[in-house]
Amino acid sequence: MAKRIFMLLSLGGILLLSSCGHKEETKEEEAKFLVSNPLEKDTIVDRKYVAQIHSIRHIELRALERGYLQNIFVDEGQFVSKGQKMFRIMPNVYEAELSKSKAEAQSALIEYQNTKALAEKNVVSKNELALAKARLAKANAEVSLAQTHLGFTDIRAPFSGIMNHLEAREGSLLDEGDLLTTLSDNSKMWVYFNVPEAEYLNYVTKKAKGEMIKVNLEMANGSIFSQEGVVETIEGEFNNETGNIAFRATFNNPDKILRHGETGNVIVRNNYKKALLIPQKATFEVLDKKFVFVIDKDNTVKQREITVAEEEIPYLFIVKNGLSVGDKILLDGLRKVKNGQKIHMDYQAPSKVFSSLNLYAE
């Protein structure tokens, strides 16, 4: 009787263990994986590039004649108008040279007139008259040259702009070519920034289609400049060391906020119509290529390569090739499944999935 009871207990234990194992196996088989579709949506992506800001005209003002700096009519940081007198070099020597050349020109004129009168009476030859005429022309040229040198003693603004630091003070002895100050026309600003080759190709394709590349400028304090800029020129060759090419955007500067030599960030806004978006965490890499797991009609996991068009959106990738909006993709448990494996799905709508993203892809 005891032997029979023992056999019944043993059989019951085996059945119990078998039942537990079956439940665990069923539980494992019924594990569900989160699945959704790509989201199709118009998307704007901003790219930032470090930029250097230059005045549309920025020149050095230098002494054109040698002499003492007699007067300074402007101050540092002042706005000056075109033609406004800024500096004067002591003109005494040049005034004397002009007076001398004028006297010589007057003498040459009298000589010419006398020679002409004699030539009309055939007292002197025509050659003598031609020489007198040439001497008069030379004397008049000397007057013009002396007037030019005297004019160079007054240094005027060649265009309207803001002057910079004074490099000389009143009374300084200047040599020809000495720097006095710099002058900047800040009515418009040229903003230079470098673009990698791949992005250059995208932008130049847009420009070839007649699309203007419009940009914004983030200033050093983080605020956005009020005026929108337009890319007008692209340099002719790439920098072999960096693989970049320089772009130049032009910004109107009506309030003269921007100054020559500032720095900032150019923001290029890229518009993607009906962009196909997926979470970054739904992708994995193999040999520098990106893949996702696509779920077919039989709930079988299939590995598929994708091409990413834009990688700089938080939490998201824009898919250029490899997926369509109707494909179901695996969102989690990527390391727990294998290519060709059947799974149980827990489907969530893309809108719900995308609203809850809070991690970057790893």
Per-residue pLDDT at 4: 52
Name, in order, each residue with C-beta under 8 angstroms of 336's C-beta and a sequence gap of 6 or more.
33
Per-residue pLDDT at 11: 47
Name, in order, each residue with C-beta under 8 angstroms of 121's C-beta and a sequence gap of 6 or more.
none
Q: What residue ranges define each of the domains in the chain, with the CATH number in brackets?
A: 31-45+273-355 (2.40.420.20), 47-55+183-271 (2.40.30.170), 91-152 (1.10.287.470)
Per-residue pLDDT at 27: 47
Enclosing H/E stretch for 266: strand 263-279
* Max intra-chain CA distance, the chain: 172
Per-residue pLDDT at 221: 93
User: CA 270, CA 296: separation in Å to the nearest integer?
Assistant: 33
β-sheet bridge partners, residue 214: 230
Asked if 358 and 280 touch (Cβ cutoff 8 Å), the reply is no
User: CA 98, CA 259: separation in Å to the nearest integer?
Assistant: 41
Q: What CA–CA distances, in Å, run from 350 to 38, 280, 306, 330?
A: 7, 14, 19, 12
Alpha helices by DSSP H, listed for the chain, are 2-29, 92-120, 126-151, 197-208, 350-355
Of 44, 29, 9, 105, the C-alpha closest to 274 is 44
Per-residue pLDDT 10s for the chain (362 aa) are: 444 544 544 545 544 445 555 544 444 456 789 999 999 988 888 889 999 999 999 999 999 999 999 999 999 999 999 999 999 999 999 999 999 999 999 999 999 999 999 888 888 888 998 999 999 999 999 999 999 999 999 999 999 999 999 999 999 999 999 999 999 999 999 999 999 888 888 788 877 777 788 899 999 999 999 999 999 888 888 988 888 999 999 999 999 999 999 999 999 988 888 889 999 999 999 888 999 999 998 899 999 999 988 666 888 899 989 999 999 999 988 888 899 999 998 999 888 888 877 543 33
Asked if 136 and 80 touch (Cβ cutoff 8 Å), the reply is no
User: CA 193, CA 244: separation in Å to the nearest integer?
Assistant: 9
Which pTM does this prediction carry?
A: 0.71
Q: What CA–CA distances, in Å, run from 277 to 37, 81, 256, 295, 354?
A: 9, 54, 41, 17, 9
> What is the β-pairing status of strands 328-330 and 289-295?
antiparallel
Per-residue pLDDT at 78: 93
Residue 241's SS3 state is: coil
Q: Which two tokens stand for residue 6?
A: 């023992």
Of 316, 49, 325, the C-alpha closest to 191 is 49
User: CA 175, CA 157: separation in Å to the nearest integer?
Assistant: 20
Q: In sequence order, what DSSP letters do the residues of 86-124 get, joined into one string?
A: EEEE--HHHHHHHHHHHHHHHHHHHHHHHHHHHHHTTSS
Q: Which two tokens stand for residue 117?
A: 């009168």
Per-residue pLDDT at 6: 44
DSSP 290: E
